[in-house]
Every structure is written in structure tokens, then in C-alpha cells.
A and B are shown apart, each in its own frame.
Chain A
Amino acid sequence: MNDLVTTGLYFDHSMNGHPESIDLLELSRFAGNLGGVEWTEHSTVIPPADPKYFRDIFIRNRVEHLIVVGHTPGNLEPFFKKASEGTRLESGHISYISLPEWGLAGKRDTLLAKILIYESVTGQLPKGFRDADAPLMHEATLVIGGGIAGIQAALEIANSGHKVYLLERTGTIGGHMAMFDKTFPTLDCAACILTPKMVEAGQHPNIELLTYSELACLEGSSGNFRARILKKARRVDITRCIGCGVCAEKCPSKTYSEFDAGTTLRKAIYIPFPQAVPNKYLIDAEHCIYVQEGKCGVCAKVCPAECVILDDKDQEVVLEVGQIVVATGFNVFDATRMEALGYGKYPNVITSLEFERLVNASGPTGGAITFRHQDKKGNWIFQKDGPGPASIAIIHCVGSRDIHHRKYCSRVCCMYSLKMAHLIREKLPSAQVFEYYIDMRAFGKGYEEFYERIREEGVHMIRGKTATIEEKDGKLLLKTEDMLNDRMIVQEVDMVVLSVGLEPVTDALQLAGMLGITADDEGWFMQRSGNISPEGTLRGGIFLAGACQGPKDIPDTVAQASAAASGVIRQIATGRISLSMQDFAHEEIEQFLSSKSPIAEEQP
């Protein structure tokens, strides 16, 4: 039997204030009933109180083990070090439980937090919860999301000889990376790196692509999942479609292309982009005249392969998989929410994603940077030819680092903005480029050098966030405080590019609920541990890859995807899947915790 160590718990309420967060009072009550716990206390103030006050408590209760629980309890370390001087705790130990580090944020996680506390107090996980694993019933893995993260993870797993289902919501795999022109800081062609991987994934014998499909429901437990997949009606039989394009040529309905970030028009029957995988057509029901009004059907008439099925219905398939890699990526911030910057009001205020397409050789203008104008039919598109802008401003931190929008740093915008500045200088050598930044965050390998290089190329760097943009006589006026030169600037430019931040996909929380994993208060999925398991989740057999866990650049995304794949392959190799807290039913945990003497039960 373990000797009972006299334990004290301190609960730090700071940063844990909102009503939906974990109930620390209940945790405190729970901890007080555990064997060996002599004292618990909680506070909302930092620093908590006089160290002397705690020293007296430690001496009075003969505390040998102190556990500090809270949002960022490590911040209190110097304080408790000081308080423990001259007490039994000095030779004992202090441990810290950071709840978010364990992915515990919401009220519903209170039960799981109890297990953590139980483990910390008794030094052992309850019987049955520790080193628990389950047999891996199905070897196949489901990868959700077909961007660079999903493709990388799928290829890693498939190349080691295991079956992968690659699930993608849109008509093609490729994700955001396929839209980009160049990567930073090496200025490699993004498509040149990604397209071969897409083709490989599309042709791999171990990978089954499920495009235009979504996860509808997940049942079962780790190692033995049943995933119900909604295969949306594509209305084109991809086994027969030869990709000739006659249908799109005749289709009368047009809309803005998602792949080109709305800078070009596509037909209602379309291939997302020429290198799409699978390179087959699909029908956008929302804009299809036949689907909406019941007449037309010209595509079906002209198709030489007779593969258009206008009355196609949604289907459901059930996949039995052992493990899941979540790689759902991100959305870009909607710049219309920053009203003062005039996006959506002035045609030549564009977002960085639109710029990526504009400057791309396969983009709307063949790579020429031109002005946006209204064509004869009233659509806002970029001029095919015409003069380029003589001056372009790039505004950083649009939607990021802003308490009213997204409070975090989106991590990639500084670098892609520098890259855009370089591309502008390359395409329009006489154009003046102004970068308005708050802080230049060039943190990665080769990034600072890239920043230096762009500065040397003659791009103007201005430290100050542009507050307002107004249009006057066809020019855009930017009002900014140039704080390093102690002056106000009203800069007149021809075009403005807004470096929009990254945000979680709109239905991230819904997906997290479906998968039984946690998300932080912004909506990014929660990793198992920020330091040692950024690719795992609290649920065994579910891994994270790429920006769905937090904003990330391409190298980090690929690294994380490979790490997730290695986790998957490890468990396939052992044939067993290691479980964690969230794999257990809440009733099971509750039943355990309510048993009177849990430690005694551990005795043989």
C-alpha cells in the first residue's frame, strides 16, 4: 500500500472566469474527499495572497505535496517556491496541472479533470484507466480533409501499406495550398510541389478518395469506429466522365469560382481547376438551372460519355475504420467585417487570397497584376489586360491580433505578405510597395533572412496599423500613424491587399462534438499536449494534422501530418490502440469516482 502523502491543493481561478469553464469549486470539493488531502483552497487573485499565509498553512497541515490546478498554474511557481521555504514542502514536491494543456476547457470536462486530480493525488490512474488499450479492430484509417495536411498523412500511411479513406468536402483534393502561387521563404512554386502529391494520392492503390463528401456521424469506439459518410450528389458519374469539357462549354449558368477566390467565373457544371484530382466534372446544384427550375439539362444532352445524372441523389456510405486523422484546415477571415478598410466597397481593396490567384500564372489574368472592374454583365472581375497599379499597399493583421475579431496571431500573414511584396516587385518592377505592419514576425528558419532580402529589394516598411481606407478620385487613401518616424501618413495608392488572418472552419465545433474531441474557445482543435503531443487528441486513435489545430505554415503542417501518420502506423503495427480519458464513457468514470474507497480496491 502506498504511504499516504499529506497533500494540499490550490485552485487558481484566474483566466478561468467565464461561466462555461470548468467548475473549480466542484473539483476542490472532490479533491477534499480524497485520502491524504488535508487542505484545499481557491482564489481569483494573482498573486494569491501573502506567501507567509501559505507558509503557515503548509506547516499547520504538514503538507508534503502541493498540487496547483488552473489555467496557467506554472505562473505561480515562483510564488509557491517562496511560500514553501522552511516547510516540509521544501523537500517534498509541487506539481502543476494546467487544464488547457490537457484539452480541458468546458464545463463538461469537469469529470475528466477529476481523473487528472485523482491521478496526481494518489500517484496512479484508477485501475482500468491506466495503460488501457483496446484491440485495433480495423486497419483502415479515415483522413478528414484533403488539403496538404490530409494528403501528406494519407500518403505516409498508404505508403507503409495500409488502407486510407481520404475524405474531402469539395470536388477536388488540394485545399488552400493549391490556390497559392509561391511558398515562403524559398519562393518555390506551390502547385509544383502539391500537384504530384495530389496525383499520387489519387492513384495510390491504398487510398480511396471520397470527394464531395462529408462526415455525417461517428459511432463506435477507438479502434472500431463506424463512420457514416454523406456523399453529396455530384450529378456526374466519375467512373465514366472523360473530362472533355463539352458540358461546361454549353452550360448557360455562371458563378464565381471558389478555387479562384471569386476572381473568375465558372459554369454550374465545372472542374474546380485544371489539375483537380479527381479530374472529373461536378454540378453545383445551387446554380444549376435544371436543379433549381427543372428545365435546361443541356449538359446531359451534349455529354459524349452520357455520364451526367441530373437527378442524382445524396448517398450515405458506412466505413469501418480503426483510426482517424483530422486535417480540416482553416477558413480565411472575412475582410468585410473590418468596415473601416473598405473591402467589398472599393473594388481594388483585395484580400491576400484573391491576390494569390491574381498573381498566379493559372489565375484570372495569367499572372498579370491588373485592376478589378465590372464587366458588361455586371460581374466584378480583373481586367485581362491593362495597366498595372503603380503603387500597392499591403496591410498586415487584418482580423488577427484584434480583440473584436481574432485575438491570436495568425502566424503566416507576415511571411506571405513579404512574399507578396516580392512578387509585386518581380511582376511590376516600377511599382512602389508599402507594407503596413504592427510587428514583423519572421520566426522560422530562413524567415528573418527573407525579411532582410525583401527590405533590400526596396519595399517600404511602415510600422503602424492602417485605420481607415477611403477612395478619392480612383485612388485609395490610407490613414496610418508611422510611429517610427513620429508622423501621420495619408498614403495614396492604386491597390490595397489585406493580409487576412486564419480562423477555424465554420463548423469546427460541430465536428469536434461528432468526433468526441475538444476545441479551444476560438474553435481550434485541442491537442493532447502542447509540448509532447501536438498531433494527438485526448481520444485514442484520433490525431490532428495541420491548421485545424491552430494557424500553421506549410512546413509545420507537413511535419505535423507526418507525426500524426506515425501515430497511426505505430498502432497498426502493434495491433492495439492506446486509450485515454475521453475514450471512457462518462458513466464509467462517474461510477468509479463515486466508489467509496478507490485506493483500497486497487489492492490485490
Chain B
Amino acid sequence: MSYRIDPEFRKELGKFGVGSEWSECYHCGNCTATCPLTEEKILFPRKGIRMIQMGLKEKISAYVEPWLCYYCGDCTKTCPRDANPGELMMALRRYLTSVYDWTGLSRKFYTSKSWEFGFILFFAALVVALFSVFLPLRPDAEQMVNASGGVMINSLIAGMSPSTFVSVIEWGDWIMAMIVAGLLISNILNMFHKIVLSDHSVRVPLRAYFIGFWKLTFNFLTQARFSKCDNRNYWAGHLLLMTGYSIMFAVIVVLLPEFQTEEVNPWYHWQRLLGYYATFGILYFLIITAIGRIRRSDINLRFSHSTDWLFIIMLGLTTITGILVHIFRISGLPAATYYTYVIHLAVLVPMILVEVPFSKWSHLAYRPFAIYFSELKKAGKPRTADIGLAPAIS
């Protein structure tokens, strides 16, 4: 197979926060050899730098390795040219997210702050508007306190029964989940096409699809690949975040009636314990990461793209408003509960809609699938040598 050299490719990458340090690389191979995650057939990051130096845009689109990198920073620390390969992998993940996304929105969000903020503000305003028009606070809300002193959270809406309110929110959750899942699945299919199907040099046996699936599930649940990096603190922090986030996702989308109950349950109730664990997991990760990014304490936190900060801020606001809803609720303050609840959703909804399918959080799908696809390619048998010649110039 032959590839076309695109001299403008470097400019395009620049828009995604890819610096120009990679041009310093003189290909000693130190980064690849230092990397604890590189494998016999999966060599990175040096090969990726080569592709960028050469302007091989198509080849980068089919490049799965950035998703297999967890940015421990060993390559950057030891690079004899300060070519910063670790950050390059990070920036390539941003670029690849936009490559997989067929809507083109991801590209807009990464390359234009006004698009990103505009989108977020639009959905935040939409949530506030929907609440003020269709789900306003009932006038006698101050009465809605139950015997134990907690706010009856589902009875705060004027002219709506508690069960109707819960199902309205649940429906909203499901619609949002469907949109996000639809986008992610179509993007993953796009990724599959670019990485596996377009690679004519290997033929993947059917068996490999089933065997590889186990690795996908295993890695998704344990983040095992991440734990191979030398500094295991990042893996532990990330696992806390991932499990906390997944629990929150599950209770909100699937178990909302059991989670958002009228009664305030005692602290040892499973519903509250799960909530506390998830909040702790997310908050711990956020604080550690934010401090690290401000202090630039480690090599992988030294360079922060605007989307990195936006992610921290949005998730932080969601968590803080969530905690406030909880505090106001158990303190018996119905109006405060209602308003923070609305703000909570006004942050949460745009965060999910922007981050998950189009931005930083899409990695929750791309990373495990990248492991899956690389397993497929590793299991693939090489086809007859495919030495395609570049088309003749006529």
C-alpha cells in the first residue's frame, strides 16, 4: 500500500495542540524502547512521530497506538532531543477523536473555543428554560419536607405528581443516553473501518473477534493496561474515577426511581453508600489532577490543553452541585434544593453531550476498543506482500 505525503498535515495537527517539538526527533528509538506498554508488533511512539514528520495523514488515521498509550511520561523524560513524544500521543488522541467523529462537531470543539462554549451554553440555557416553562417550582414548596426533616425532592414541581416527575427525568436520561450511544457506536464503527478493515496487509480470523472481546471487557473493568505503567498512582486514581463515574451513570439512567427517592434514607442505606463512593472517587481524581496540572508536578500534567481544563471544570461543577443538592435536601431546604438541582442538570447535560461523544470523554469507548482492534491485528495473518506502488504521474 502506498501513502500520499500531505505537506499541510503539520498545520492541521497544530490546531489540535500538537506542538512542533516532534520535528526535533532524530529517531534513536529510545522512547519506544523505554515505554513499558510497547509490544513486539505494536511499536510506539517513535513510529507515529515518523508518520507526522513525513505527513502521512492517512496512515495516522489508521494509527491505533495513541489509544494504547496511558502517558506515564517516561518517553518524554528520557528523550535525548526533548521531542516530547508523550504529549504528542496525547495530542494525537485529540486529533483522532475528530477523525472518527463523522458529524464534524468534534473537530469544531477542539479547534474553536467559541463553538465549544456556544454549544455548552446553548444546552445549559435549554435545560434552564425547560425547567422554568414545564417544571416550575410549586408555590408551597416550603411544605414539602417529610417527617425526618428531609426535602421530598420529587414533589417540588407545580402540578406534577412525584412519580411523573421521576419518569420525566428518567425519559430525559434515556433519550440522552441513546443519542450519546448512537454517536459513539457509529464513531467506533468508523474507527474499526479505518484501523482494521482498511488495513489490507492482514487478514483477521473470525475466532480472534471472540477471543479479543474478552480482553476488551477485562480492560474496561480493570484498566489493567494502565497498571503496567511504572507510576501506579495514576492507574489507581483513574480506576476510582472510572468506577465512580460508572456507578453514577448506572444509578441515574437505570435505577433513577431507587436513587432519587422521596424518603431520605439513613446513611448506611446502599443508595447513599454508592453515591458517597462515586462522589469520593470522582472528587479525589479531580482534586489530584487539578493540583497536578496547576503545579505541573509531573511530566504528563505539564501541558494542559483548554479541553483538559474544561473537562475538569465541568465535572467539578457537576460534582459540587450534586453534593449541594444532597446537603440542601437533608437539611430540609426545598427551594435551595430545587434551584441547585436545575443548575446541576444545566451543567451535567451539556457536559455529557459535549464531552462523551465529541471530546475528552470519548476515550472511555475508544481506549478499550483500541485494545480490541490491536488484538485483532495482532492475531491477523499477513496477506501476500502488498507492495503497492504510488500511482504514476501522468
**Contact yes or no, A465 B29, CB < 8 A:** yes
**Contact yes or no, A468 B33, CB < 8 A:** yes
**Contact yes or no, B33 A481, CB < 8 A:** yes
Answer whether A483 and B80 are a contact pair too, CB < 8 Å, given A488-B39, A488-B40.
no
Q: Decide if B111 is an interface residue (CB 8 Å cutoff).
A: no
| Cβ contacts under 8 Å, B41 to chain A | 487
Q: Decide if B26 is an interface residue (CB 8 Å cutoff).
A: yes
The interface-forming segment of A172-180, A397-405, A587-595 is A397-405
A467 to B31 alpha-carbon distance, docked (Å): 8
**Contact yes or no, A487 B40, CB < 8 A:** yes
Candidates B32, B47, B80; contact of A402 at CB < 8 Å:
B80
Q: Decide if B11 is an interface residue (CB 8 Å cutoff).
A: no
A449 to B140 alpha-carbon distance, docked (Å): 96
B273 nearest CB across to chain A (Å): 44
Residue on B with the closest CB to A465?
Answer: B28
**Contact yes or no, A438 B26, CB < 8 A:** yes
**Contact yes or no, B80 A480, CB < 8 A:** no
A486 nearest CB across to chain B (Å): 7
**Contact yes or no, B38 A483, CB < 8 A:** no
Which residues of B in the span 14-65 have a Cβ within 8 Å of any Cβ on A? Answer: 26-34, 38-41, 43, 46-47
Answer whether A480 and B29 are a contact pair too, CB < 8 Å, given A403-B81, A403-B82, A467-B78.
yes
Answer whether A403 and B34 are a contact pair too, CB < 8 Å, given A465-B29, A480-B29, A486-B43.
no
**Contact yes or no, A467 B46, CB < 8 A:** no
Kindly name the residue among B28, B31, B34, B43 whose own CB sees the greatest number of chain A CB atoms within 10 A: B28
A401 to B40 alpha-carbon distance, docked (Å): 27
Q: Decide if A479 is an interface residue (CB 8 Å cutoff).
A: yes
**Contact yes or no, B34 A340, CB < 8 A:** yes
Q: Decide if A84 is an interface residue (CB 8 Å cutoff).
A: no
**Contact yes or no, B81 A488, CB < 8 A:** no
A412 nearest CB across to chain B (Å): 19
Q: Decide if A541 is an interface residue (CB 8 Å cutoff).
A: no
- A458-479 Cβ-contact flags toward B at 8 Å (1 or 0): 0000011111100000000001
**Contact yes or no, A488 B38, CB < 8 A:** yes
A438 to B25 alpha-carbon distance, docked (Å): 12
A438 to B79 alpha-carbon distance, docked (Å): 13
Residue on B with the closest CB to A404?
Answer: B80
A463 to B30 alpha-carbon distance, docked (Å): 11
| Cβ contacts under 8 Å, A479 to chain B | 33-34
**Contact yes or no, B39 A483, CB < 8 A:** no
Candidates B27, B34, B79; contact of A468 at CB < 8 Å:
B34
**Contact yes or no, A401 B34, CB < 8 A:** no
Number of A-B contacts (CB under 8 A): 64
Answer whether A480 and B33 are a contact pair too, CB < 8 Å, given A487-B40, A487-B43, A488-B38.
yes
Residue on B with the closest CB to A406?
Answer: B80
A604 to B52 alpha-carbon distance, docked (Å): 66
Which residues of A in the span 538-588 have a Cβ within 8 Å of any Cβ on B? Answer: none
| Number of residues from A at the complex interface, CB < 8 A | 23
A463 nearest CB across to chain B (Å): 8
Candidates B29, B34, B40, B81; contact of A483 at CB < 8 Å:
B29
| Cβ contacts under 8 Å, B82 to chain A | 403
**Contact yes or no, A481 B29, CB < 8 A:** yes
**Contact yes or no, B30 A483, CB < 8 A:** no
Which residues of A in the span 473-511 have a Cβ within 8 Å of any Cβ on B? Answer: 479-483, 486-488
Answer whether A438 and B38 are a contact pair too, CB < 8 Å, given A404-B80, A481-B46.
no
Residue on A with the closest CB to B41?
Answer: A487
**Contact yes or no, A401 B80, CB < 8 A:** yes
| Cβ contacts under 8 Å, A402 to chain B | 80
Sorting the interface of chain B by its residue count into under 10, 10 to 19, 20 to 34 or 35 or more gives 20 to 34
| Cβ contacts under 8 Å, B81 to chain A | 403
| Cβ contacts under 8 Å, B43 to chain A | 481, 486-488
A405 to B81 alpha-carbon distance, docked (Å): 10
- B67-88 Cβ-contact flags toward A at 8 Å (1 or 0): 0000000000011111000000
A403 to B81 alpha-carbon distance, docked (Å): 5
Candidates B28, B31, B34; contact of A397 at CB < 8 Å:
B28
Candidates B33, B39, B40, B47; contact of A465 at CB < 8 Å:
B33
A467 to B29 alpha-carbon distance, docked (Å): 8
Residue on A with the closest CB to B35?
Answer: A467
A18 nearest CB across to chain B (Å): 16
| Cβ contacts under 8 Å, A404 to chain B | 80
| Cβ contacts under 8 Å, A482 to chain B | 29
Candidates B26, B32, B78; contact of A481 at CB < 8 Å:
B32
**Contact yes or no, B78 A483, CB < 8 A:** no
| Cβ contacts under 8 Å, B46 to chain A | 481, 483
**Contact yes or no, A403 B40, CB < 8 A:** no
| Cβ contacts under 8 Å, A405 to chain B | 80
**Contact yes or no, A488 B26, CB < 8 A:** no
B320 nearest CB across to chain A (Å): 42
A483 to B50 alpha-carbon distance, docked (Å): 11
A481 to B47 alpha-carbon distance, docked (Å): 10
A489 nearest CB across to chain B (Å): 9
- A326-346 Cβ-contact flags toward B at 8 Å (1 or 0): 000000000000001000000
A404 to B30 alpha-carbon distance, docked (Å): 14
| Cβ contacts under 8 Å, A487 to chain B | 40-41, 43
| Cβ contacts under 8 Å, A467 to chain B | 29-34, 78
- A396-418 Cβ-contact flags toward B at 8 Å (1 or 0): 01000111110000000000000
| Cβ contacts under 8 Å, B29 to chain A | 438, 463-465, 467, 480-483
Candidates A439, A465, A486, A488; contact of B30 at CB < 8 Å:
A465
- B279-322 Cβ-contact flags toward A at 8 Å (1 or 0): 00000000000000000000000000000000000000000000
| Cβ contacts under 8 Å, A480 to chain B | 29, 33
A438 to B32 alpha-carbon distance, docked (Å): 14
Residue on B with the closest CB to A340?
Answer: B78
Residue on B with the closest CB to A399?
Answer: B80
Answer whether A488 and B33 are a contact pair too, CB < 8 Å, given A467-B78, A481-B46.
yes
**Contact yes or no, A438 B28, CB < 8 A:** yes
| Cβ contacts under 8 Å, A486 to chain B | 43, 47
Kindly name the residue among B29, B31, B38 whose own CB sees the greatest number of chain A CB atoms within 10 A: B29
A573 nearest CB across to chain B (Å): 48
A336 nearest CB across to chain B (Å): 16
A440 nearest CB across to chain B (Å): 13
Kindly name the residue among A405, A467, A481 whose own CB sees the greatest number of chain B CB atoms within 10 A: A481
A405 to B30 alpha-carbon distance, docked (Å): 15
A402 to B80 alpha-carbon distance, docked (Å): 4
A522 nearest CB across to chain B (Å): 15
B20 nearest CB across to chain A (Å): 14
| Cβ contacts under 8 Å, B33 to chain A | 464-468, 479-481, 488
A113 to B28 alpha-carbon distance, docked (Å): 39
Residue on B with the closest CB to A402?
Answer: B80
| Cβ contacts under 8 Å, A468 to chain B | 33-34
| Cβ contacts under 8 Å, A401 to chain B | 26, 28, 80
Answer whether A488 and B32 are a contact pair too, CB < 8 Å, given A481-B46, A483-B27.
yes
- A435-454 Cβ-contact flags toward B at 8 Å (1 or 0): 00011000000000000000
B23 nearest CB across to chain A (Å): 14
A463 to B50 alpha-carbon distance, docked (Å): 15
A483 nearest CB across to chain B (Å): 5
A339 nearest CB across to chain B (Å): 10
**Contact yes or no, B39 A403, CB < 8 A:** no
B346 nearest CB across to chain A (Å): 45
A487 nearest CB across to chain B (Å): 6
A70 to B250 alpha-carbon distance, docked (Å): 64
| Cβ contacts under 8 Å, A481 to chain B | 29, 32-33, 38, 43, 46
A432 to B177 alpha-carbon distance, docked (Å): 61
6 contacts between A and B (CB under 8 A): A403-B80, A404-B80, A467-B78, A481-B46, A482-B29, A488-B32
Not counting A404-B80, A464-B29, A467-B78, a sample of 6 additional A-B residue pairs whose C-beta atoms are within 8 angstroms of each other reads A401-B80, A438-B26, A466-B33, A483-B32, A486-B43, A488-B43
Closest CB pairs A-B (n = 5): A481-B29, A467-B33, A402-B80, A465-B28, A464-B29
Measuring CB to CB, which residues of chain B are less than 8 angstroms from any residue of chain A? 26-34, 38-41, 43, 46-47, 78-82
